[in-house]
Amino acid sequence: MIPSLDASLLAASPWWRPDPGTHLVIRGGARLTGTYPISGAKNAALPLMVAALLSPHLVTLHNLPANLDVAVLANLLQRLGVGLGWSGGRAGLTLTLCADRLHPRRIEGALVGRMRASILLLGAMLARCGEASLPMPGGDAIGLRGIDFHVAGLRAMGAEIDLAGGMIQARAPRGLHGAEILLPQPSVGATQNLMLAAVLARGGTVIRNAAREPEIADLARCLIAMGAGITGLDGDLLTVQGGASLTGAVHSVMPDRIETGTLACAAAVTDGELFLEHARAELLGAGMPLLAAAGVALEETGTGLVARRASAGLIGTDFRTMPYPGFATDLQSPVMAMLATARGASAITETIFEQRFRHVDELRKLGADITVHGRTAWVRGVTRLTGARVTATDLRAAAALVLAGLGARGETALDGLEHLDRGYDGMAEKLAACGADIRREARA
Ligand code: UD1
């Protein structure tokens, strides 16, 4: 259960049906057809919600996805004094945030422990209030996921940060100042955190080796609409002219490229045809040619993408995950689930997170032939998977197991649904509307 979640927050969404006492039962084999509405991107929505902390004026976000991470972050913001107004329906949620009176109090562990993106509160609260105190962030158990880049960058901007007893205590008594920062790796979260802090800092900040994921440009566009000076949105060198007093803004969250790629695979696995409404091909980066090589046909229309299995069928394909525009680590597990029944073998190398093969044992329970050697998984395609009881260990693993279940013979029961609901806006309900035999059932 989420501590103190105001359920009415997300009640406006037609897809919002999570219940911790349930698991997902999927009877495989149904062809998916129809329109699958792609929601706003979770990984864009969370930093955009945090951006509202930087201004005392109203920030309105359209097209927010209704998922648990959004609900948890909304609760965190509310406890910091942010006023929230929700509305919306089928076209996505709208949230208006008002951070005119913040209380920079200690942020509770129960909520922060649930999500990695809570680390973004560090940069934003430091910049706005001159102090921040929060527990080390949680999120998926997929690797070490340090915060050293975040801490080093904020220290370069004048913050005093103490890490002890699982807590992050940060102060900037004289305010933050601009700095030249070189990220050791293009970290998505560190780039966002430092950008948020730099917007209110005195003077200019340069972030070199910045991550280039499209969610970062989406955050920058909203900050620019709020009055921030940011350039370099298309590259790995971001410059932020700090010190502007920010206004409010109205911003629409970009479509979810990970949900897009995952559902394209679902259409191919079931040999169906889905119209992925609102999806944008250019956001997939290296995912586009890779999916084509693996046998997923994608066709752009003015308002989305049509996805189906190519006539040659699914074909084993080698790939490695890389920072954007390379192939997204968040699509590694769904694509692996799809390639489990492709013709031939695939070598899949994970370079971003060291523990991101935890779905392999679960896919094996369904009959997949996969072996892991170090950071590479070798997948030998089998004709068909067979339903079984499996457990999701993280968000993207949950999506992979749903895909596997959709293509499998017989019934798959998926436990660990909270992972799916953390990051996807009603995936089970949207799939059912496209013909999947999938339902939430009370756990026996
Ligand atoms: C974000 C996404 C996540 C995605 C990941 C990579 C959100 C909410 N989450 O996570 O879905 O899988 O990008 O595309 O947007 N690292 C450090 N020290 C740091 C920061 C990162 O060592 O201070 C390492 C991480 O352990 C990892 C790599 O850098 O190996 C990339 O992590 P990062 O890009 O920061 O991922 P997140 O922002 O956590």
pLDDT, residue 2, reads 33
pLDDT, residue 115, reads 77
Q: What is the 3-state secondary structure (H, E, C) of the chain?
A: CCCCCCHHHHCCCCCCCCCCCEEEEEECCCCCEEEEECCECHHHHHHHHHHHHHCCCEEEEEEECCCHHHHHHHHHHHHCCCEEEEEEECCEEEEEEECCCCCCCCCCHHHHCCCHHHHHHHHHHHHHHCEEEEECCCCCCCCCCCCHHHHHHHHHCCCEEEEECCEEEEECCCCCECCEEECCCCCHHHHHHHHHHHHHCECEEEEECCCCCHHHHHHHHHHHHCCCEEECCCCCEEEEECCCCCCCEEEECCECHHHHHHHHHHHHHCCCEEEEECCCHHHHCCHHHHHHHHCEEEEEECCEEEEEECCCCCECCCEEECCCCCECHHHHHHHHHHHCCCECEEEEECCCCCCCCCHHHHHHHCCCEEEEECCEEEEECCCCCECCEEECCCHHHHHHHHHHHHHCECEEEEECHHHHHHHCCCHHHHHHHCCCEEEEEECC
Mean pLDDT, residues 398-414: 98
Q: What is the dihedral of CA 252, 258, 259, 264, to 10 degrees?
A: 130
**Residues 133 and 127: beta-carbon distance below 8 Å:** no
Report the separation in Å between the CA atom of 77 and the middle of ligand 1, taken as the mean of its atom positions.
22
Alpha carbon distance 130, 1 (integer Å): 32
CA distances from 24 to 94, 401, 435 (A): 28, 10, 15
Mean pLDDT value across the chain:
91
**Residues 102 and 173: beta-carbon distance below 8 Å:** no
Bridge partners (DSSP) listed for residue 373 = 376
> Is residue 352 within 6 Å of ligand 1 at its C-beta?
yes
Residue type, 101: R
Higher pLDDT, 88 or 43: 43
Mean pLDDT, residues 223-242: 96
> Is residue 396 within 6 Å of ligand 1 at its C-beta?
no
For residue 317, is pLDDT > 90?
yes
Alpha carbon distance 144, 185 (integer Å): 14
pLDDT, residue 236, reads 96
Alpha carbon distance 179, 193 (integer Å): 14
Report the separation in Å between the CA atom of 221 and the middle of ligand 1, taken as the mean of its atom positions.
21
Mean pLDDT, residues 367-393: 97
Report the separation in Å between the CA atom of 209 and the middle of ligand 1, taken as the mean of its atom positions.
14
Higher pLDDT, 419 or 279: 279
Among the listed residues 147, 191, 183, the one whose alpha carbon sits nearest the alpha carbon of residue 166: 147
From 154, 161, 185, 394, the mutation candidate for ligand 1 (largest count of ligand atoms within 8 A of CB) is: 185
Residue 419: both structure tokens together: 């992972």
Q: What are phi and psi of 435, to 5 degrees?
A: 100, 0
pLDDT, residue 387, reads 97
> Is residue 149 within 6 Å of ligand 1 at its C-beta?
yes
pLDDT, residue 14, reads 52
**Residue owning the nearest CA to atom 17 of ligand 1:** 146
Indicate the pLDDT class of residue 3, thresholds 50, 70 and 90: very low
> Is residue 118 within 6 Å of ligand 1 at its C-beta?
no
Indicate the pLDDT class of residue 86, thresholds 50, 70 and 90: confident
Report the separation in Å between the CA atom of 147 and the middle of ligand 1, taken as the mean of its atom positions.
9
pLDDT, residue 104, reads 75
CA distances from 170 to 124, 139, 262, 299, 304 (A): 11, 21, 38, 49, 44
Report the separation in Å between the CA atom of 188 and the middle of ligand 1, taken as the mean of its atom positions.
6
pLDDT, residue 15, reads 52
Higher pLDDT, 137 or 286: 286
Among the listed residues 416, 403, 413, the one whose alpha carbon sits nearest the alpha carbon of residue 26: 413
Taking only the tens place, the pLDDT of each residue in 102-114 is 987 767 776 776 6
pLDDT, residue 338, reads 98
pLDDT, residue 326, reads 98
> Is residue 145 within 6 Å of ligand 1 at its C-beta?
yes
For residue 4, is pLDDT > 50?
no
**Residues 267 and 309: beta-carbon distance below 8 Å:** yes
pLDDT, residue 292, reads 98
Alpha carbon distance 208, 228 (integer Å): 19
> Is residue 330 within 6 Å of ligand 1 at its C-beta?
yes
- C-alpha distance across the termini of the chain, in Å: 18
pLDDT, residue 6, reads 47
For residue 12, is pLDDT > 80?
no
Residue type, 38: I
Pick from 7-21, 198-212, 336-350, 382-396: least confident? 7-21
Alpha carbon distance 145, 153 (integer Å): 16
Reported as half-sphere exposure (CB side, CA atoms, 13 A), residue 253 has a value of 31
Report the separation in Å between the CA atom of 375 and the middle of ligand 1, taken as the mean of its atom positions.
17
How many other CB atoms are found less than 10 A from the CB of residue 184? 10
Mean pLDDT, residues 304-329: 98
Report the separation in Å between the CA atom of 184 and the middle of ligand 1, taken as the mean of its atom positions.
12
pLDDT, residue 5, reads 41
Report the separation in Å between the CA atom of 312 and the middle of ligand 1, taken as the mean of its atom positions.
36
From 112, 352, 424, the mutation candidate for ligand 1 (largest count of ligand atoms within 8 A of CB) is: 352
**Residues 245 and 273: beta-carbon distance below 8 Å:** no
> Is residue 150 within 6 Å of ligand 1 at its C-beta?
yes
From the CA of 144, give the closest atom in ligand 1. 26
Report the separation in Å between the CA atom of 8 and the middle of ligand 1, taken as the mean of its atom positions.
31
pLDDT, residue 273, reads 98
For residue 99, is pLDDT > 70?
yes
From the CA of 146, give the closest atom in ligand 1. 18
From 116, 147, 187, the mutation candidate for ligand 1 (largest count of ligand atoms within 8 A of CB) is: 187
Higher pLDDT, 426 or 106: 426
Token pair 């992050």 is found at 168
Alpha carbon distance 23, 416 (integer Å): 7
> Is residue 357 within 6 Å of ligand 1 at its C-beta?
no
Alpha carbon distance 136, 181 (integer Å): 22
From the CA of 152, give the closest atom in ligand 1. 23
Report the separation in Å between the CA atom of 266 and the middle of ligand 1, taken as the mean of its atom positions.
26
CA distances from 83 to 13, 98, 262, 359, 365 (A): 20, 5, 34, 39, 46
How many other CB atoms are found less than 10 A from the CB of residue 365? 17
**Residue owning the nearest CA to atom 37 of ligand 1:** 189
